Amino acid sequence: MQRRAFLKWSFGAAAMATFGLTPFGCSRDPENSNQPFQLPSLPYALDALEPYISEETLRIHYGKHHRGYVANTNHLVANTSLAKRTLIEIMRQSFEPKACRQSSIFNNTAQVYNHTIYWNSMTPEGGGEPGGLMLEWIEKSFGSFSVFRETFSNKARKQFASGWTWLVLLDGKLQVLTTANAETPIVHGIQPLLVLDVWEHAYYLDYKNRRDQYIDVFFDHLINWEFAANNLGEI
């Protein structure tokens, strides 16, 4: 399949090899070979996250924003050698660490990647505290789940303007990072476990300017600990 296949839970190396996937869901599709990248499928129905994330929000956020990033990426790589590269290869090649503004090719490919992780960081009937290995890592890294939640929530709340709040494994422990605009940990060699989108279009239709409420709903009802644990288990 052309970089559209989307693994619902685990993105580990073994699973990706089995399904022929490049990291985080995009692989070759001989039936649609005219386009090097395609929009990954959502891992749930458009209304599955209601009442916490509305169907209307997903129709716009996924159906227009995410779809737009894919379309822009295809336009930008058309008739270039980049069309034969994976999404992550393009991101790493085009990222400029010292640049005040990133290129269009980086911004669009990174937003395809970031949104793919975001959709999988949520699940119907998710939320609450994790168990097993995930909880052990959180307690080892932060002292307790409550400290982790406060740390993540504070960083998400304080991220100015558009950006992302990530749970990552770095230097042998779990850490919370924020990135602005389209920037993503993977270009720094850091593997994300899950992410919360704090661009306003992710929550404004449902929560207006109440980002705090959106963050609380993510933790209480949506966060997909199985996705994070599977990613952690493969690192």
Question: Residue 27: which pLDDT band, with cuts at 50, 70 and 90?
Answer: very low
CA 166 vs CA 29, 45, 75, 83: distances in Å: 30, 24, 29, 28
Contact in structure between 232 and 134 (CB atoms under 8 Å) = yes
- C-alpha–C-alpha distance, residues 160 and 183, integer Å: 14
Selected residue with higher pLDDT from 173 and 10? 173
pLDDT in tens, 64-94: 999 999 999 999 999 999 999 999 999 999 9
Give residue 34's pLDDT. Answer: 78
Which amino acid is present at 134?
Answer: M
* C-alpha torsion angle, residues 229, 230, 234, 235 (rounded to 10): -40
pTM for this one? 0.87
pLDDT in tens, 125-180: 999 999 999 999 999 999 999 999 999 999 999 999 999 999 999 999 999 999 99
What domains can be seen in the chain, in order of their start residue? 13-43+57-120 (1.10.287.990), 132-233 (3.55.40.20)
Tokens encoding 90: 């393009």
**164: helix, coil or strand?**
strand
DSSP letter, residue 193: E
Between helix 104-120 and helix 87-94 the angle, nearest 10°, is: 130
pLDDT in tens, 199-222: 999 999 999 999 999 999 999 999
